[in-house]
Structures are given as structure tokens and as C-alpha cells.
Amino acid sequence: MDFAKCTTYQFFNMQPSSVFLGFGLITLVSASGYYPRAVNTSTDAGNCTTSGVHMIIARASTEAPGEGIIGAVATMVKQAIPGSDSEAVDYPATLTQYQASEQSGVAAMTKLVQEYTARCPDSKIAVMGYSQGAQVAADMMCGVSEKGFSNATQALSAADSKNVVAMVLMGDPSHVSGQSFDAGTAKKTGLFPRQNLAACPAAQTVSFCDDNDEFCDSGNSLQVHLSYVTKYGTQAAKFVTDKVLGNASNGTISQIGSSLSKEKANEVSSSRALGWSVLVAFVGLGLLV
């Protein structure tokens, strides 16, 4: 999907004025640090994890290469389960040519899971994704069936997905409300609602989406879309930890989560002020309508 053609082709099912506002917001908040930049915690994936879990992570649209904001969840899991490691999916994560970017991510994540499963047949895997990255992870595990996506694909095979014990999705544009694995307050579908969920590993999945999220709930709030790690990060990490340990996790994850949540909250608060001050300047100049 070519952003340059937005005047004739609605981007993300929005009118052109909303397109520029949405794209401008994402560009501004990314540049200002509104997306709290998690330290790139990727570790060497050449070895097999024996006592922990190997996490494969797809970042959100426009984030710098690496694990992105959702990497903070992986950090909590690593601190709770010694021996765990992680790696980032290498894909464009762009809003321009969105469909091509997302499908590139699906192919890249699929390859990582297949290669790791073949190399480490006894190791556990968790996959995570934020925003576009969440759609990447869900497409890999459920198959591509979204409305508006032309290339339908099958879900990852049972042989390749047998070691995937958990999938964490945050702000998934292919979100469908009313699913057993949904978490949060959303009541509507995302911009690209998934049409076939039969292959989705419901028992291994949690999908966070709140009411009025611009992308996963077809709402109007970018702020909601950017809030999931701060709001649900500890819960997400505990979900993964429980799946890895067989619901035997202890209070460690809560203590870690509390500490990281405070740190993230401070970072979001300071960067939010800068992001919105720049936005106000743009609106004042009439560059956004």
C-alpha cells in the first residue's frame, strides 16, 4: 500500500485528512520518544535455551530496528526465568507499503521459529509483537485471513509450532473482539479484522487491546495504542512465565514488573509532553487538519 497514493486510496480505512493526522502523530511521537525505547535486549540465539524460554519479538511500526517497546516484557521474563534469551525479527516495520512490510515480517518470523525449532527441538519458544508486529506474530500462528489482505496463507505447521508455548499481542490491527484470548476493554474489531481464527492457538495466546485504540479497536486514540507495555507489561510477562513454567511462577515477576513499570511511566510522561507540544505546533501552523 503506497502512502503517496492516500488521496485516492484510503490508508488504514481512514479519510485522507485522518491519514495525515495519524501518520503525522506516529512520526512525531516516534521522533520525540513517545514510544518508550526499550534497550535492545536481544541475546545470542546461536545456543539453545535449556532452562528458560527463547523469545522472538516483532517491533511496532516506525520503531527503530530491534525489539522495540515490547522488549521490556521480554526483559521481565528474562529476569524471572534465568537462562531465557530473545531475538528481534528483522523486517521493515513501515507504514508506507504496509502490507508488504507486514508480510515480510511474517516470513522473517516464520524463518526464525523454524530454524530455532530445528536446531533446538527441546527448547520452549514465546513470540511477541506490538502493533504491526502483533499482526506479524498472529499471521504466523493463525494464517493470513485479514479483510483487505490479498495473499491468504496457512498457519505455521504443527511440527514448526510445537515448541511455541506463548504468544503475546499488543495493539494488533487484526484483532477480533470476543475471543477467549482477548484482554483489555476493546469491543470492536481492528482495522484489518481476521476472518479465520480456527488455527489460532487460543490457550497459548493473550491479545491486549483497549477501547478506542486507533488500530486494534478502530477507534480514535493513538495514546491508548501506545499504552500497553506500561499498563499490561507485568501481566504479559506473567502470562509467558506461567506458560513456560506450567503456572508455577512466583512473586518475582510482580516485583520486577513494578520496578520496570515505574521506570517506563516516567519515561512515557516526559516524552509525551514533548510529543504533544510538537503536535500542537503543527496544528497551529495548519499543517495538520
Read out DSSP for 262-282? HHHHHHHHHHHHHHHHHHHHH
Q: Average pLDDT for residues 183-190, to the nearest whole number? A: 96
And the C-alpha cell for 149? Answer: 489482505
Is the pLDDT confidence value at 54 over 70?
Answer: yes
Q: Can you give the residue range of the structural domain that contains 88?
A: 3-284
Mention every residue, 6+ apart, whose C-beta is less than 8 A from residue 187.
177, 211, 217
Is 59 among the domain residues? yes
Query: 149 pLDDT band (50/70/90 cuts)?
Result: confident
CB contact at 8 A, 22 and 222 = yes
pLDDT of residue 133: 98
pLDDT of residue 105: 96
What is the C-alpha to C-alpha distance for residues 258 and 255, in angstroms, rounded to an integer? 5
The CATH number linked to 52 is 3.40.50.1820
54 closest CA partner among 114, 130, 103, 140: 114
- Counting the structural domains of the chain, the total is 1
CB contact at 8 A, 206 and 14 = no
The residues that bridge with 221 in the sheet, in sequence order, are 213
In this structure, the strands spanning 85-88 and 53-58 are: parallel
Name the percent of the chain lying above pLDDT 70: 70
Is 23 among the domain residues? yes
Residue-wise pLDDT for 40-53, tens only, equals 455 555 689 989 99
Is 145 among the domain residues? yes
HEC string of 147-196 equals: CCCCCCCCCCCHHHHCCEEEEEEECCCCCCCCCCCEECCCCCCCCCCECC
CB contact at 8 A, 155 and 141 = yes
Query: 156 pLDDT band (50/70/90 cuts)?
Result: confident
Mention every residue, 6+ apart, whose C-beta is less than 8 A from residue 130.
58, 59, 60, 63, 68, 69, 70, 170, 171, 228, 229
Is 226 among the domain residues? yes
Is 241 among the domain residues? yes
Is 289 among the domain residues? no
Is 166 among the domain residues? yes
Q: Quick check: helix, strand or coil at residue 48?
A: coil
Name the least confident of 9-23, 138-152, 178-192.
9-23
What's the predicted TM-score (pTM) here? Answer: 0.77
Is the pLDDT confidence value at 34 over 50?
Answer: no
Mention every residue, 6+ apart, whose C-beta is less than 8 A from residue 286.
none
